[in-house]
Every structure is written in structure tokens, then in C-alpha cells.
Amino acid sequence: MAPAGHVSASSWVMVLAPPSASGPGCPWYALGELGPPNIKWCEERLCAWVNEPANAWSNLAFVIVALMIHPLVRRGGLQSRTLRRFAPTVALVGVGSFVFHASNTYVTQLFDFLGMYLFCGMLLGINSARLGWLAPTRVSAAVLGGALALTAFTAVVVRWGAPIQLIVLGLIIGIIVSETLCQRRAQPRPEIRWFGVAVTLLGAALVCSLLDATRRWCVPEDHLLQGHAAWHVLSAASLLAAFIHYRQFDRALAE
């Protein structure tokens, strides 16, 4: 039988990984008693308030991107409330991921996933409005309701050992497929270059995260650079490219 926390080269996740570096003396121990996350990334966990420094602090990239998007929204005079929420949603993704990687508990992992569900849902909502499947006035409510429902679902199925990271992958695939449908139906076709940049960056981010999860890129004692930390930085850059792409639909999305 493999030891607790073991991962094979072909495994995507580490199920029931320990929540912190040691026992009751560590800052997040009490919250960790409610359960561990479903994954253990390569970085060695420290008995500290930030127990995965590289994976946690790399989420500042999302905050930086949010701060870059905010003035673009103001200077562009965007009318769509959905697009005006782009920056705070990106920031929430970063905050949720930071808290998770600082603590590595079941509860904070759900907060991390809520941020990702809100962002992915926002892009799916935008594309649904462009396709006429959803009125622009209903996008925000649909995104919030869908993210909360998915988070509740995740809270249950992760206890059964479900690979919840695949839910996010499914949402990303949904964004790409719905964008492809939008491109085919629109006349004239909108500019697609920045969406391509976003997908390329996200693909590179996914490779880095997979290399970390499978331990092909793994130096546990390195608290400056980790494969999953590179996922955060590249993903944040991808979200900036996504904003540049989606802002061209402001008039169509105005509520």
C-alpha cells in the first residue's frame, strides 16, 4: 500500500494530503481539522501563516492584473456591469488562491474554487449573452447562482475523492467552445487575436501545473519558483488578455 500523500507519476492529484507541515502548533491546524484539500502540490509546506510561500505569493500576479484592468475600464467608459466587474473578479481569484495556498485546508480550497467558478462563469455568461442564450441583464445573477451551486457541489463530491480540478478544466473547455460558436455566428467576425493569446498563456500555465502535480518539475524546498506558482502567473496574464478580448463587446452587453 502506498504511504499517505503518495502520488504516482501518472496521478493528477494527491488525495487527502495533510493540511499543514506539522501538528497543533501550526497556525492553520484548527481549520485543518475540518478536513484536508484534495491535492498536495510539490512545494514543501512550512509551519507558518503562509505554508506554501511560492504558491501563495505568486497570486499577487492576479492582483496586479486587476489593478491594470481597473484603469482600462474607467478610461474606456465601459457600460456593461459584467465587464466592470472583471477587475474585482480577477482580484478575488487571487485572494482566494492566496488564502488556500497559505493554509491548505478543505474550507479554504472551496473559497479558492469559488473565485475560479465566478470568473469562468463570467466568461461563459458573456458568451451566452452574445449567442442570445441569456439576456445581458441576467448574466450577473446567473454567474453568481451558478458559482454558488458549483461550490456547494464541489464541497460534497470532493469528500468522495472526486478530481474537482477537472470541473475547472470543463469550464475552460466550455469557454473555448462557446467562443468558437460566437465567432462562427457573428457577422462581421470580431477580433480574435487576444483570445488566442489568452488560450495560449492558459495552455502554458496548465503544462506548468501538470509538471508540478506529476512531480516532473519538483524541488520541494524551493520557495521562490514552483510549477504551480508559474500556473498562477501565466493564468493571471491570460486573464488580462481575456479582458482585452471581451471589452470589444461592451455595447452588446450593456444592460
| Confidence (pLDDT) at 212 | 96
Specify the CATH number for the domain of residue 42: 1.20.1070
Any domain includes 120: yes
| Confidence (pLDDT) at 253 | 82
Any domain includes 226: yes
Q: Tell me which residue range forms the domain holding 231.
A: 29-253
**How confident is the prediction for the chain on average, in pLDDT?**
89
For residue range 93-118, list pLDDT tens digits in order: 999 999 999 999 999 999 999 999 99
pLDDT over threshold 60, residue 221: yes
Torsion of CA 86, 110, 18, 218, to 10 degrees: -30
Any domain includes 5: no
For residue range 110-163, list pLDDT tens digits in order: 999 999 999 999 999 999 999 999 998 899 999 999 999 999 999 999 999 899
Please state the domain count of the chain: 1
| Confidence (pLDDT) at 11 | 41
For residue range 11-44, list pLDDT tens digits in order: 434 434 544 455 678 889 888 888 889 999 999 9
More confident residue, 255 or 114: 114
Any domain includes 189: yes
Any domain includes 24: no
